[in-house]
Amino acid sequence: MAKFEYLNYKDVNERLANLVNNTNSKIKVVKKEPLGYTDFKLPIEHYRMGQGLKHIVVTGSYHSAEIITTIFIVHLMEELALNGGFNPKEYTIDFIPIVNPEGYLITTQMQDLYLAKANTEDEKIKLAKDYWAAYKQDAVNTLNANKMLKKEDLTVINILRGKKEYEALFDDVNLDDYLKDYPELKESVVEIIKKNGYSAGVLAAWTANGHGIDLSQNAPFNSLIEKYKKNGPCYSGTVYSNIRKDVPGPINTPCRDLNNFTFEAENKHMLNFLWNLEHTKDVSIEAFLNYHSVMGKIYQKPIEEDWVVNLYDIDYSKKLIENYNGARVIRSENAYDIIEDVDPFNYINEYFRLRYGINIQVELSRMGSNPIGPLADPDTFMNITVKPNIEAFKKFVNDLEFIKEYSKFINNLVFLFNNKRKNNNESILDSKEVYRLIDNICCKTPTLYTKLKEELKNKNYNAHVITYLFHLIETSLENKEIKEESESIKKRVIYASNSVDKFTERYTAFINDIVDRLNKDRVAKKQDLLNSDEIELLIDNICKDYPEIYTKLKFELNKEEPNEEIINELEIHLSRLINNQIKMLNLLPNKIRN
């Protein structure tokens, strides 16, 4: 069984200090000068691995209650340092594990006092589960209250604006022991909660910095600023429905004065760091991975903000395609849903996404109930959150050059199809149609996709081969007679009473083995067996999300004597990935999920 993975501010700094001082690392971790200091004099620490001119920026705890992002980054750095996983001569990785150190202290010191009730690790897990349950009940209560909301209904108003169950868990916490070593920071947050009539329990899930400003929302083009100015008191949603977001507080407030926007110190330092890095001779920012913690999703679509696009001469189509292809690579290991719309809650990262490399925002956990709820199930946290996302990161870095080259290939396809549409007086492809085009290359032609990837990963690839594959894929996508490979196989596997060919017969057995493997796990956990809709989607996802695995499997199954060892390895690998999809609720079709 995995251990309880909670790390407070001191724990994080000690783990990373040990890593910096480890002389046995395959890739050395270097502690750089902080990006800068917060208003309450806390360093925004910066660590670096590798010596390459191509930089990848990795950030955690922009929202301080999302402490699992920092815990994940610590594990990621330890894995890369001890076991490798990328080429340090080609790439440099810049880690900022805690962008919001004030907030991290605010929330974890409250959790420290709560967890101090426990004497054993099992007791700490029990307290985390209690927190998770209270938080989830608050979410249900708020959802039900919103459905019944009437201005004259005081019961409903009290549910929405009153004290939450998760807050009550901290009623017996003695604030004399809170933030003892940070008196100015303590004075600031205590003043905020007293001014707004909040209980001390809100400190346990504090997302903002010490001034009560949400760093992710702290951007001048945040459209909510005008909304808050016009509409007066505005409250957050779900669990935080008793917290105002138009005045400094625990979550969602974009700036200190709605009539006079200013960047917070943390964002100023981040902006300066990125600007200076970008303008360092021969250096390029290839990617920016921004980790958050809510709902197990991947945000990747760049915002269509004309003033930024025009000011910096940004190729929006290139950004759109590169980000989606990058997200697909990450999904192939962590099994998270790719969100095809702009993230409505992270304004500062939308600016970063347009400006700096391939920008992916990974929401690490579907459990919610920050900060300690996701840690209440240590096995799930380690095996569904940490390990797959470490593999996703390594695959992303190692596929980065392919992602860029493949995106050029897709851009040319989009340009070709858009010209044909214009000639036919049709509208050009919108973003979701571009996404479907990318998906369909894998669904309709997984073998061609695999050959194309192999060629593009060769730095001296043959342009004639690429042109040939381009025309084959173009023809396949345009040919209405050609069904998606996953679709035709799906119908044969699920519905055919007798297999029509050698491959389908063997592939049917392979799918059935995976379903049996997954169902045994579900029976053991007293869950329902996979239904036909889920099995169909499973078959779809093998082609769409794992075309290289599918192609390798197809090649093996078409042999007169397939290598059972290879097939078994592929089956185990796919079972793990698909089991993660099930646990993340990402295997369910929309019609079922909704």
CB 304 within 8 A of CB 316: yes
Domain shared by 452 and 523, yes or no: no
The per-residue pLDDT for 594 is: 36
| DSSP structure class, residue 410 | H
Q: Kindly give, in sequence order, each residue whose CB lies less than 8 Å from that of residue 66, ignoring residues fewer than 6 positions away.
A: 60, 207, 292, 293, 294, 364, 370, 371
Phi and psi angles of residue 489, each rounded to the nearest 5 degrees, phi first:
-65, -40
Domain shared by 270 and 373, yes or no: yes
Structural element, H or E, at residue 365: strand 358-365
Domain shared by 389 and 283, yes or no: yes
As a whole number of angstroms, the distance between CA 274 and CA 183 comes to 32
> DSSP for 539-584?
HHHHHHH-HHHHHHHHHHHTSSS--HHHHHHHHHHHHHHHHHHHHT
As a whole number of angstroms, the distance between CA 202 and CA 6 comes to 19
Does some domain include residue 2?
no
Domain shared by 466 and 555, yes or no: no
| DSSP structure class, residue 302 | P
The per-residue pLDDT for 493 is: 59
Domain shared by 395 and 438, yes or no: no
Q: Kindly give, in sequence order, each residue whose CB lies less than 8 Å from that of residue 242, ignoring residues fewer than 6 positions away.
A: 160, 161, 162, 163, 164, 198, 235
Does some domain include residue 336?
no
The alpha carbon torsion through 271, 276, 278, 279 (nearest 10 deg) reads: 140
Does some domain include residue 314?
yes
Assign 84 to helix, strand or coil. coil
Q: Report pTM.
A: 0.91
CB 64 within 8 A of CB 100: yes
pLDDT in tens, 212-225: 999 999 998 888 89
Residues of the chain with pLDDT under 50: 495-499, 589-594
Domain shared by 379 and 494, yes or no: no
As a whole number of angstroms, the distance between CA 541 and CA 100 comes to 37
Domain shared by 171 and 236, yes or no: yes
Nearest to 519 by CA among 507, 509, 531, 508: 531
How many domains does the structure of the chain reveal? 4
Domain shared by 271 and 362, yes or no: yes
Looking only at the bridges linking them, the beta strands covering 54-59 and 284-294 are parallel
Does some domain include residue 3?
no
Q: Kindly give, in sequence order, each residue whose CB lies less than 8 Å from that of residue 168, ignoring residues fewer than 6 positions away.
A: 134, 199, 201
As a whole number of angstroms, the distance between CA 149 and CA 155 comes to 9
Domain shared by 358 and 409, yes or no: no
Q: In one letter, which amino acid is 242?
A: N
> DSSP for 8-31?
-HHHHHHHHHHHHT-TT-SS-EEE
Domain shared by 269 and 393, yes or no: yes
Domain shared by 321 and 389, yes or no: yes
Which class for 119: exposed (0-12), middle (13-18), buried (19 or more C-beta within 10 A)? exposed
Range of the domain at 417: 402-478
